[in-house]
């Protein structure tokens, strides 16, 4: 047996991303180890969600290295013309990195159970009966097993987001990516979703979380990254970043967010 440590699930080095003249990411590094929880914090426009979308290959970056479990993404072209060279590789990586969006993104014309089953059956080609059993299990896990036959419009925002988490889990991903999963919810419904995310972290699932909820980032994370104007201003364990922030920008950011 090899004593070599397993490579990170996600490893990003020197990532640059622009939208036209707007340089959103200016050379960012990110590592998500197996079983670890990384939170990305920072002001609106700092590049957090863009970084997450680049990690999942939903956005093409112009420069930098992205690797999934040690496998580097292959590119063709350079700068603004750079794009992934192998569509099969992109599909394989993306199916292993399940994304949970701010706005749920459930299909309105499908029941909750159908929503959760759709991708494993159509994208992964898994057996429908097996997927249904798994989907019901994940809906139970997030506390809405009784909503299988309901339509998304019949659910509260918190229930819809928990259905979206069940849908992500049903892909059996190597990592879960959360993009502001609670920001569209009022405080009471937010706590329903926070409880589910905390339970997933306690199971040792690999997660990268963009969040405005500093308490969630502090309680949940193994590692916190503070982004400011497309650069990592400060990063480290949550007790260091929240307890003894070093940079003036982070101190200012935390004083604003914790006083609200």
Domain-located, residue 165:
no
Domain-located, residue 116:
no
Instruction: Decide if pLDDT at 1 tops 80.
Output: no
**Looking at per-residue confidence, does 259 or 176 come out higher?**
176
Rounded to two decimals, what is the model's pTM? 0.93
Rounded CA gap, 238 and 48, in Å?
Answer: 17
- The pLDDT assigned to 2 comes to 55
- The pLDDT assigned to 260 comes to 47
Domain-located, residue 67:
yes
Nearest of 203, 194, 188, 133 to residue 165 by alpha carbon: 194
* Range 45-64 average pLDDT: 96
Rounded CA gap, 186 and 231, in Å?
Answer: 30
* Range 163-178 average pLDDT: 97
Residue with tokens 């990411």: 25
* Range 24-50 average pLDDT: 96
177, β-bridge pairs: 99, 208
Domain-located, residue 53:
yes
Domain-located, residue 142:
no
Among 5-9, 71-75, 130-134, the range scoring the smallest mean pLDDT is: 5-9
Total of domains in the chain: 1
Domain-located, residue 11:
yes
Tokens of 5: 């440590």
Please, where are the H alpha helices in 32-86?
A: 48-55
Give how far Cα 233 sits from Cα of 19, 27, 216, 227, 248, Å: 21, 12, 20, 6, 10
Domain-located, residue 232:
yes
List pLDDT tens digits, range 128-148: 999 999 999 999 999 999 999
Instruction: Decide if pLDDT at 258 tops 70.
Output: no
Q: Report the percent of the chain where pLDDT is more than 70.
A: 98
Please, where are the H alpha helices in the chain?
A: 48-55, 87-95, 112-122, 128-141, 157-169, 187-202, 214-220, 238-243, 248-259
15, β-bridge pairs: 28
Nearest of 100, 40, 10 to residue 238 by alpha carbon: 40
Q: Is 54 helix (H, G, I), strand (E, B) or coil?
A: helix
CATH number of the domain residue 228 falls in: 3.40.50.300
- The pLDDT assigned to 15 comes to 98
Domain, as residue range, for 54: 1-35+44-87+206-260
DSSP character for 147? G
Average pLDDT, the chain: 95
**Edge-first strand listing for the sheet containing 207-210:** 97-100, 175-179, 207-210, 37-41, 223-228, 231-236
Domain-located, residue 195:
no
């Amino acid at each position: 047996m090899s004593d070599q440590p397993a490579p990170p699930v996600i490893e990003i080095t020197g990532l640059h991303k622009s939208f036209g003249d707007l340089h959103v990411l200016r050379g960012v590094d990110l590592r998500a180890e197996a079983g670890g929880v990384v939170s990305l914090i920072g002001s609106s426009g700092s590049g957090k969600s863009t970084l997450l979308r680049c990690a999942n290959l939903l956005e093409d970056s112009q420069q930098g290295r992205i690797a999934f479990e040690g496998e580097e993404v292959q590119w063709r072209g350079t700068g603004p013309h750079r794009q992934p060279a192998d569509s099969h590789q992109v599909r394989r990586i993306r199916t292993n990195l399940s994304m949970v969006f701010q706005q749920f993104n459930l299909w309105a014309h499908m029941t909750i159970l159908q929503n959760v089953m759709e991708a494993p059956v159509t994208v992964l080609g898994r057996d429908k009966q097996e997927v249904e059993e798994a989907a019901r299990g994940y809906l139970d896990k997030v506390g809405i097993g009784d909503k299988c036959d309901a339509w998304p419009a019949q659910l509260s925002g918190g229930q819809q987001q928990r259905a979206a988490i069940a849908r992500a889990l049903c892909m059996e991903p190597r990592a879960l990516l959360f993009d502001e999963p609670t920001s569209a919810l009022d405080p009471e419904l937010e706590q329903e979703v926070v409880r589910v995310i905390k339970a997933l972290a306690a199971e040792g699932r690999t997660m990268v979380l963009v969040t405005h909820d500093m308490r969630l980032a502090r309680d949940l994370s193994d590692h916190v990254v503070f982004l400011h104007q497309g650069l990592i201003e400060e990063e480290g364990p949550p007790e260091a970043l929240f307890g003894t922030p070093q940079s003036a920008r982070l101190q200012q950011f935390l004083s604003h967010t914790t006083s609200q």
